[in-house]
Structure 1
């Protein structure tokens, strides 16, 4: 795995049968946060009409279409082709991580196998994605969270981004509050302060699909501020380095 995630070489493999083409631009922007897409492939039967909406995106985003005929009804040959290609790319030794785009649980074992080889797996799928596939990834992002106001309105209301969760509802969400507090406590110093990046890292290791956008907030800092349960401190380290945000549980004695 590359030490600098922004320079990580990534293979982006898209199950076109299980991913909407309307969000591909936002999806690739999200991928860019984790590294550079050195391979971009989309799998499906391009001779049919069901993937017609993808063709324009393939050209615009320089995604290589991989043709896979449906040999028989009821069997997904696309999944098999994607798995075979993924293993070939894995054994090439040219990549630091994989981005698997699908809402299909059939890729659970593939994600686990790639992680066994020491590479990072980023999953992308709809909220209906089965939990085993989500848990098999290092990080899983719901494509509903990638939809922005500048994007075309989704034709399926199920793909709408999460609405802003009120402070009162956040406070009453015991699971969320415990998750945030436990993550802060796990790596805080004697004064109770911890770098927010460390908090996010701890949470993601426990819940790959955790995302502040699930609650309608763009950043973890925004979500934690909205709960009113944490103190946040923006510190400037100097030497031209970017500011670092620290968090502390308000219950910690001052």
Structure 2
């Protein structure tokens, strides 16, 4: 993940049928890490009762509502409008990337097409999002990791909203074979002769292999916290070199602090 906001110009295209308005503030704060949201549009049939909660959010965040009447049963009209606008922006918008906010697999081909044109694609959706859409993005963020900063507009949303992922214990992390393989491969790909790798480079490698990789999926705000909690990697912060990490030699026990956390 980027360590600081950059000057990338991004188009934020929101599928209103598949997104709750209460997540928008946290969503835009997340997007600000990747660049500037120069285009912000939300798509849906705003005449329907189920989208009435969007009005205040749209006004507060200067999001342009794109009206799309449901001429036929289903949500294909909204999806088509978003896709057409994205292609128009691709050729006329002078943009560096696109943020597609939806859990709908219908946007898989769109994401692939935008990337083929050299644009960075960030996806945002629920854990139910099909793998095809996740894999088509450069990075995919699950909305439930943003829930901790979400402010529901109505009490009912507290009941329906998905909870932020619970923090995994050290023991659970060490039992996650897929996670360990990703991290070990990342360290191996960027390590020097002594086995040390810059954690930022490890993160970039892992994200390319798995677009939805995010330390928050395991309940850790930062990747360094996740790696440290596992207890199988050495972590150092030499001056001027950022965070360095390497795998502990075989047979080396987990650190005392990590072992204690695993027991609790």
Distance 1:75 1:176, change over 3 A: closer
In angstroms, what is the RMSD of aligned CA positions? 1.8
User: Retained in 2: the 8 A contact 1:11–1:99?
Assistant: yes
Q: CA deviation at 1:251?
A: 1.8
Q: Which residue is equivalent to 2:39?
A: 39
Which residue in the other structure is 1:136 paired with? 136
Query: Is the partner of 1:118 in helix, strand or coil?
Result: coil
Mapped contact 2:22–2:150 kept (Cα < 8 A): no
Cα separation, 1, equivalents of 2:150 and 2:15? 25
Compared CA separation, residues 75 and 40, structure 1 to 2 (3 A):
closer
Partner of 1:195: 198
Contact 2:26 2:150 in 1 (8 A): no
Alignment TM-score, normalising by the size of structure 2: 0.89
**Contact map agreement 2:23 2:150 (CA 8 A) in 1:** no
Residue correspondences, number: 245
Alignment of 1:1-254 (within 5 A): 6-148=6-148, 151-152=151-152, 154-156=157-159, 159-237=162-240, 244-251=242-249
After TM superposition, the score normalised by the length of structure 1 is 0.92
CA contact under 8 A between 1:192 and 1:252: conserved in structure 2?
Answer: no
SS of alignment partner, residue 13 of structure 2: strand
Shift of 1:148: 1.5
Instruction: Tell me what 1:240 maps to.
Output: none
Unaligned runs of 5+ in 2: 252-264
State the 4+ residue runs in structure 1 displaced beyond 2 angstroms: 149-158
Unaligned runs of 5+ in 1: 238-242
Shift of 1:151: 3.5
CA distance in 2, matches of 1:93, 1:140: 22
Contact kept in structure 2, 1:107 and 1:133, CA below 8 Å:
yes
Q: Whole-Å Cα distance in 2 between the matches of residues 30 and 58 of structure 1?
A: 17
Distance 1:41 1:62 in 2: 9
The alignment partner of 1:225 has SS state of helix
